[in-house]
A and B are shown apart, each in its own frame.
Chain A
Amino acid sequence: MRPAPLLALLAAVTPAQAAPVVEAEPSRLVLGPRARAEITIRDSGPELHGAVSMGTLVPGAASGDFTRFMWTPPPEARAPTLVLFAFWSGESPTLADVTLLALPCSGRTELAIETEPSAQVTVEVAGARFGPRRADRQGRLKLPVEVGPHAHEARVIAELSDQSKIRVLPLTLPPSPWLLAASPGRSSDGSSVHVLLVVPDTEESPGIELVAEGAKVEREQDAGRRFLYRVTPDRDRSAVPLVARTLDGSVRAQMTLDVARPVAAPPVETPPRPPPPGRWVLGGAIGGYVGGGSNAGPEAAVVLGYGLPRLPLVLELEVGVRHQSMSTQVGTLGVQTSSLTVFPIELALRWEALAAGTFRLGVRGGAGLLVGTHHLSSTFDSELSEGALGWEVFAALQAGLQVGPVEPYIEVRPSLAKVSTDHLEARPGGGVFSVGVRGEFR
Chain B
Amino acid sequence: MSRARVLLGALLLAGCSGATLPAPSVVSVSPPERQASTSGPVTVTLDAVLPTVADHGTNTVVVDDRLTLTIGPRPFGPSRWADAGVITDFLPSVLPEGSYDVTVVLGDGRMATATDALHITAGDWPVGYTVGMIGDQTSNVPFGVTLRAQGAPDAGFTGTVFLSVPGATVVPSVSGPFSGNLRVETITVTVDHPGQYHLEVMDLDGRPGRSLDFHVAQ
Cβ-defined contact, A427 with B57, below 8 A: yes
Cβ-defined contact, A328 with B59, below 8 A: yes
Given A381-B84, A386-B18, A387-B19, decide whether A425 and B63 contact each other with a Cβ distance below 8 A: no
Is B54 on the interface with A (CB-CB < 8 A)? Answer: yes
Cβ-defined contact, B61 with A388, below 8 A: no
How far, in whole Å, are A332 and B51 apart by their CA atoms in the complex?
Answer: 16
Is A202 on the interface with B (CB-CB < 8 A)? Answer: no
Q: Which of A408-442 contact B (CB under 8 A)?
A: 420-427
Cβ-defined contact, A338 with B18, below 8 A: no
Q: With a CB–CB cut-off of 8 A, which chain A residues contact B107?
A: none
Q: With a CB–CB cut-off of 8 A, which chain B residues contact A333?
A: 63, 65, 81-82
Selected from A331, A336, A390, the residue in CB contact (under 8 A) with B52 is A336
Cβ-defined contact, A425 with B55, below 8 A: yes
Q: With a CB–CB cut-off of 8 A, which chain A residues contact B49?
A: 376, 381-384
Q: With a CB–CB cut-off of 8 A, which chain B residues contact A420?
A: 17
Is A340 on the interface with B (CB-CB < 8 A)? Answer: yes
Q: Which of B127-145 contact A (CB under 8 A)?
A: none
Is B85 on the interface with A (CB-CB < 8 A)? Answer: yes
How far, in whole Å, are A292 and B49 apart by their CA atoms in the complex?
Answer: 27
How far, in whole Å, are A386 and B57 apart by their CA atoms in the complex?
Answer: 19
> In angstroms, how far is the closest chain A Cβ from the Cβ of B112?
13
Is B50 on the interface with A (CB-CB < 8 A)? Answer: yes
- The 8 A CB mask of A325-348 against B (1 = contact, 0 = none) is 010101111101010100000000
Which B residue sits closest to A426, measured CB to CB?
A: B56
Given A422-B53, A425-B53, A425-B56, decide whether A382 and B19 contact each other with a Cβ distance below 8 A: no
Q: Which of B62-97 contact A (CB under 8 A)?
A: 63, 65, 81-82, 84-85
> In angstroms, how far is the closest chain A Cβ from the Cβ of B106?
10
Cβ-defined contact, A330 with B63, below 8 A: yes
Is A359 on the interface with B (CB-CB < 8 A)? Answer: no
Cβ-defined contact, A424 with B54, below 8 A: yes
How far, in whole Å, are A383 and B51 apart by their CA atoms in the complex?
Answer: 11
- The A-B contact count (CB < 8 A) is 109
> In angstroms, how far is the closest chain A Cβ from the Cβ of B45?
12
Is A66 on the interface with B (CB-CB < 8 A)? Answer: no
Cβ-defined contact, A421 with B17, below 8 A: yes
Cβ-defined contact, B56 with A293, below 8 A: yes
Which B residue sits closest to A376, measured CB to CB?
A: B52
Cβ-defined contact, A382 with B63, below 8 A: no
> In angstroms, how far is the closest chain B Cβ from the Cβ of A55?
73
Cβ-defined contact, B16 with A389, below 8 A: yes
Cβ-defined contact, A336 with B48, below 8 A: no
How far, in whole Å, are A384 and B48 apart by their CA atoms in the complex?
Answer: 10
Selected from B53, B65, B81, B85, the residue in CB contact (under 8 A) with A424 is B53
Interface size class of B (residues with CB under 8 A): 20 to 34
Is B2 on the interface with A (CB-CB < 8 A)? Answer: no
Selected from A330, A338, A380, the residue in CB contact (under 8 A) with B56 is A338
Is B13 on the interface with A (CB-CB < 8 A)? Answer: yes
Given A376-B54, A380-B84, decide whether A385 and B19 contact each other with a Cβ distance below 8 A: yes
Cβ-defined contact, B48 with A427, below 8 A: no
- The 8 A CB mask of B11-26 against A (1 = contact, 0 = none) is 0011111110110000
Which A residue sits closest to B83, measured CB to CB?
A: A380
Is A371 on the interface with B (CB-CB < 8 A)? Answer: yes
Cβ-defined contact, A293 with B57, below 8 A: yes
Selected from A292, A334, A380, A421, the residue in CB contact (under 8 A) with B18 is A421
Q: With a CB–CB cut-off of 8 A, which chain A residues contact B59?
A: 293-294, 326, 328
Cβ-defined contact, B57 with A387, below 8 A: no
Is B47 on the interface with A (CB-CB < 8 A)? Answer: yes
> In angstroms, how far is the closest chain B Cβ from the Cβ of A344?
14
Q: With a CB–CB cut-off of 8 A, which chain B residues contact A385?
A: 19
Given A293-B59, A338-B61, A421-B19, decide whether A379 and B54 contact each other with a Cβ distance below 8 A: no
How far, in whole Å, are A78 and B143 apart by their CA atoms in the complex?
Answer: 155
Given A386-B18, A387-B17, A387-B19, decide whether A425 and B84 contact each other with a Cβ distance below 8 A: no
Is A196 on the interface with B (CB-CB < 8 A)? Answer: no
How far, in whole Å, are A383 and B56 apart by their CA atoms in the complex?
Answer: 18
Is A122 on the interface with B (CB-CB < 8 A)? Answer: no
> In angstroms, how far is the closest chain A Cβ from the Cβ of B64?
11
Cβ-defined contact, B85 with A381, below 8 A: yes
Q: With a CB–CB cut-off of 8 A, which chain A residues contact B50?
A: 380-381
How far, in whole Å, are A324 and B63 apart by their CA atoms in the complex?
Answer: 20
Selected from B18, B53, B54, B61, the residue in CB contact (under 8 A) with A387 is B18
Q: Report which residue of A381, A421, A424 has the largest number of chain B beta carbons within 10 angstroms of its beta carbon.
A: A381
How far, in whole Å, are A427 and B59 apart by their CA atoms in the complex?
Answer: 12
How far, in whole Å, are A332 and B49 apart by their CA atoms in the complex?
Answer: 17
Q: With a CB–CB cut-off of 8 A, which chain B residues contact A382?
A: 22, 47-49
> In angstroms, how far is the closest chain B Cβ from the Cβ of A420?
8
> In angstroms, how far is the closest chain A Cβ from the Cβ of B24?
9
Cβ-defined contact, B19 with A336, below 8 A: no
How far, in whole Å, are A117 and B193 apart by their CA atoms in the complex?
Answer: 191
- The 8 A CB mask of A270-286 against B (1 = contact, 0 = none) is 00000000000000000
Which A residue sits closest to B54, measured CB to CB?
A: A338
Cβ-defined contact, B56 with A371, below 8 A: no
Q: With a CB–CB cut-off of 8 A, which chain B residues contact A423?
A: 18-19, 51-54
Q: Report which residue of A385, A386, A423, A425 has the largest number of chain B beta carbons within 10 angstroms of its beta carbon.
A: A423
> In angstroms, how far is the closest chain A Cβ from the Cβ of B25?
9
4 new A-B contacts, CB < 8 A, other than A378-B52, A381-B49, are A291-B57, A389-B13, A420-B17, A424-B53
5 residue pairs of the A-B complex, CB under 8 angstroms, read: A291-B57, A295-B57, A371-B16, A378-B52, A425-B54
The 3 nearest A-B residue pairs measured at CB = A387-B16, A386-B19, A421-B18
